[in-house]
Structure 1
Amino acid sequence: MSNKNLLSGKDKALAELVERYETSRDQHISIYMDAEDLADIAEWYDRNSKFDNAAEVIAYGLELHPGNTSLLVERSYLHLDLYELEDAKQAAAEITEERPDVTILRARLLVEEGRMQDAELQLDTLEDKYSKENIIDVAYMYLGAYQYDQATEWLSHWRWDKEDTEYCCIMADSLLDRKNYSEAQIYYNKLIDNNPYHPQYWMGVARCHLGLLEYGKAIDACDYALLANDELGEAYVIKGYCFLELGNDKEAVKCYEEAVKYNSISPAYLYSIMGQIQIDKQEWEKAYQQFELALQQEEELKDPITRSSIYSGMAICLQKLDKETYEGQALDFCLKAINLDNFNIDAHLLGGLLYAQYGEKERAIGLWEEIGNYDNTASTWSDVAAYSSKADLFDYAIQALEHLKEGKPDYPDLYQRLTLTCILGGKLEKAQYYNQYSWSPMERKYIEELYKDIAEAPDGQSAQIIKKYLTETSVHKKA
């Protein structure tokens, strides 16, 4: 519950308004509420990720005030926050009144469709286009659509007092969204100096610390936010994530359970987190069971990335469990995960391995190439090399490691891995070449003997001779 005594002015009035609505709802008391008040309550719920509550109060409000513009505007923004663009457009189409917030909403819908010029033309119709209020609302509209340059450009149309609360809010949120965490903190701290118990300012600070990997400080900032509102679900979500990063699974789960209690995340999301925790512990059966529970409530998960991680997690579990009864299902899960999130690295890596094991080498390499193009980082190419080596596609593994060498020649154990992979791939000269750059080169005689043993090994057994070197990155040292 919000600690209203710690809130100031407008925030305190809104907290009291929300409490009045919830009391009447819970006690089944019929009361009349103004449409603008109900719209404010809906916006508060939406801002605090209580989407079901927001939808409920909007529906209630439209029963009392059919066709009300403010409520329809909130309904449209709620659909946008839930990735439901068509529903957002439908809600906006029901609006007949012309006013600035409606114009800005229509512009936002055009931005979501990628029609940036049309959005600006829509904004040109605003009366007193560059009034302070319009500038603030349009800047936040662009921030909500991740169009940071446009937000900054609109801010330039007003001569701001750098200590102005509204200016500090926009700058803080903009810098945070751009991942300029240290700069964002400066503005959030200014806001906190003027209003020490504003929960959203502390949440901004928490996100900054999170971005800087300062997990303990992020937890502290969340605790300050919870002093003002102990039902702030997003604070529990961030705390849960931080505790996971700090290796404290028990506290993490407690926080996520609180987030479920206050409707910031669904039970399905909690199950997915539990599954990931079990994967980290290599408890594959338990992890799979958690993912199954999450999948049973998949419709509650609006975020495609989370849904994708559930499918890739299930694929990993099946592959580790090596259950014959699920042959082919792990690959199906990988492909579903990729369909939901093209940037799911785990799904691409494992999917490629499974394709290779089924003899479809071109498809395997296609998946690895795809994720390498999406995420051209050293760690991704290192993983691609490891998976392609596991699939006995050593020529491609060499290519992946050489790609890694071009971008990060000092990557740990790179030349040892290149040496050993070249031996496995039957490329003796290349192995000897890369060996000389290794931090601990093998003797030439040893390389030749190892190469000979590999060449003479029965099919399917050659990799076993030195595969441990590829996974443990330990090599034979000079005597």
Structure 2
Amino acid sequence: MQLSNEEEDYNLSLSKFESMLKTNKVLFFDSEEFEEIILHYLDMGKAALAKKALKLALEQHPKSTGLKLVQVEMLVYDDKLELAEKLLNELYAIEPTNEEIYIQKANICSKRDQHEKAVEMLKIALQYTDDYADVYNLIGMEYLFMDNLEMAKESFIKCLEEDLEDQSALYNVVYCFEFLDQNQEAITYLNKYIDQNPYSEIAWHQLGRLHYGVKEYENAIRAFDYATLIDDEFLGAFMEKAKAYERLKKYAEAIESYSRTIELDDATSYALLRMGKCYEKLGNKVLALKYFNKTVHEDPLLDKGWIAITDFYVRQKNYQKALFFVNKALAIDNQNRLYWKRFATINKQMNFFEEAEFGYRKAVEFGDYGLDTWLFWVDILQFLGEFESAIQTLLQASEYFPEENEVEYRLAGLYFMIGQNTKAKFHLSNALRLNFDNYILLEDLFPVVWKKKMVQNYIAKHKK
């Protein structure tokens, strides 16, 4: 690929400057060459070289406004705001219509968190600039700092009207739409943008994301398809397309898209995990397990990978292996209530009731307040003969479920078991009021209580 004359000159200037530094010979550069050299080093994060170039530049061109503005930029970068402001005021006296002076004044205001004042400066810069897109982009960023998303959005739209190719402005305008919960408006905007710039893979990708967000998965896939046609190495678009296919239960197509992401880059544990899930949905257990194992091989600290294998073996009713893998997940994240619930459920299936009770207790401790978790836990406590603990647990559950008949029937049964008949009748009365027909729970869970004549009479009395 041939370089343009400008690129050749730029590379020659850089080579010439670096050669000068090595030989200690002082060579002449015009002020614009120096500006490009200094900005190149700043962009590369080589501040020391940028400062050295600026010192030499000002020695050769002491009156250059452009170089002094670069000096201001470097002072602002170093947080020397007072010095920068003083120099800007001197430059303003010489060139009051130079837009860069107002842009740097805005930069200083922004650093001081004076964002409204920064916008005022940038609006003055608009009167003198030829690069409207850049100034509108800067105004948009100031509005973002002020959390004024509506004005930020308008500014980024104006930026794109001036320069359709400004990708950062495109990302920012979509961000504003999404933050304002204006997904449909964003879709409308992007469709208009694409009419003007149909080969923007970024716009197609963002359009796909928005369609996905509002559950329009077919439209999302169509948009991602265009993005990958324009750029056949657009990894993000292939990944998003795969997710949309999964939502439509088109698992073979999803696998194909996930596979493409692995071809384009190193395999990610996320893609491998999703491929395993897709193969399982297709009924291919061998390949499902293969990809789950690849997931944890790729990232041994990915707890979701170990849980995927756990769930796979639970579905196969191979609880011994499931227990081994859920313990792997818990070794990585031992405060995850969902993992503790799996641990409890697996142990329960294996008749390890003390371990199951411990698992349910930990699940609740880490925030699982689902009714079924409380009830499983209590039923195991009852099975273990820990009636008092079961009662205390149910009273705790009743704070979350004050009108739940299953809690009340169990409290009634447990109080009868320990001979506290007054409390038992109180809770039985509540249970019968909430759901009379569910009294069968007493027969299932507390056969000894069910046979008591007092209990039978109490239920009969409520039936009348």
Gaps of 5+ in 1: 1-19, 22-30, 36-64, 74-96, 105-118, 373-379, 410-414, 458-477
- For the 8 Å contact 1:311–1:333, the answer to whether it is kept is yes
User: For residues 108-149 of structure 1, what are the alpha-carbon distances to aligned partners after superposition, in whole Å with 9 as ceiling and x for unaligned?
Assistant: xxxxxxxxxxx9747779996786737736966998xxx8x6
Matches within 5 A, 1:172-211: 172-176=174-178, 180-211=182-213
Name the Cα RMSD after superposition: 5.4
- Residue 326 of structure 2 corresponds to residue 330 of structure 1: yes
2:43 corresponds, among 70, 73, 79, to 70
- Residue 383 of structure 2 corresponds to residue 381 of structure 1: no
C-alpha change, 1:225 and 1:286, in structure 2 (3 Å) is: closer
- For the 8 Å contact 2:326–2:339, the answer to whether it is kept is no
Distance in 2 separating the partners of 1:281 and 1:429 = 52
1:222 corresponds, among 202, 221, 224, to 224
The aligned counterpart of 2:242 is 240
- For the 8 Å contact 1:225–1:235, the answer to whether it is kept is yes
Shift of 1:196: 2.6
User: For residues 9-57 of structure 1, what are the alpha-carbon distances to aligned partners after superposition, in whole Å with 9 as ceiling and x for unaligned?
Assistant: xxxxxxxxxxx69xxxxxxxxx99989xxxxxxxxxxxxxxxxxxxxxx
Distance in 2 separating the partners of 1:272 and 1:33 = 50
- For the 8 Å contact 2:344–2:359, the answer to whether it is kept is yes
- For the 8 Å contact 1:271–1:294, the answer to whether it is kept is yes
Distance in 2 separating the partners of 1:397 and 1:259 = 49
Secondary structure of 1:442's counterpart equals helix
Shift of 1:432: 5.8
User: For residues 198-240 of structure 1, what are the alpha-carbon distances to aligned partners after superposition, in whole Å with 9 as ceiling and x for unaligned?
Assistant: 2211211211121112212211221232332233222221221
The aligned counterpart of 1:133 is 134
User: For residues 60-86 of structure 1, what are the alpha-carbon distances to aligned partners after superposition, in whole Å with 9 as ceiling and x for unaligned?
Assistant: xxxxx9x9543559xxxxxxxxxxxxx
Distance in 1 separating the partners of 2:294 and 2:308 = 13
Structure 1: which amino acid aligns with 2:341?
L
Relative contact order, higher structure (CA 8 A, sep 6+): 1
The aligned counterpart of 2:310 is 315
Matches within 5 A, 1:35-46: none
Shift of 1:360: 7.8
Distance in 2 separating the partners of 1:291 and 1:155 = 44
Shift of 1:290: 2.3
TM-score (norm 2): 0.53
Structure 1: which amino acid aligns with 2:192?
K
Q: Percent identity, please.
A: 14
User: For residues 305-325 of structure 1, what are the alpha-carbon distances to aligned partners after superposition, in whole Å with 9 as ceiling and x for unaligned?
Assistant: xx2311322333455554547
The aligned counterpart of 2:339 is 347
Secondary structure of 2:253's counterpart equals helix
Aligned residues: 333
The aligned counterpart of 2:447 is 453
Secondary structure of 1:213's counterpart equals coil
Structure 2: which amino acid aligns with 1:453?
P
- For the 8 Å contact 1:350–1:387, the answer to whether it is kept is no
- For the 8 Å contact 1:168–1:191, the answer to whether it is kept is no
Distance in 1 separating the partners of 2:298 and 2:428 = 51
Higher helix share: 2
Shift of 1:251: 1.1
User: For residues 124-178 of structure 1, what are the alpha-carbon distances to aligned partners after superposition, in whole Å with 9 as ceiling and x for unaligned?
Assistant: 79996786737736966998xxx8x647398399697598467675332223356
Distance in 2 separating the partners of 1:211 and 1:443 = 42
Structure number with greater Rg is 2
Distance in 2 separating the partners of 1:273 and 1:318 = 17
Shift of 1:272: 1.0
Shift of 1:250: 1.0
Structure 1: which amino acid aligns with 2:255?
V
Gaps of 5+ in 2: 12-37, 47-70, 79-108, 126-132, 383-389, 416-423, 452-462
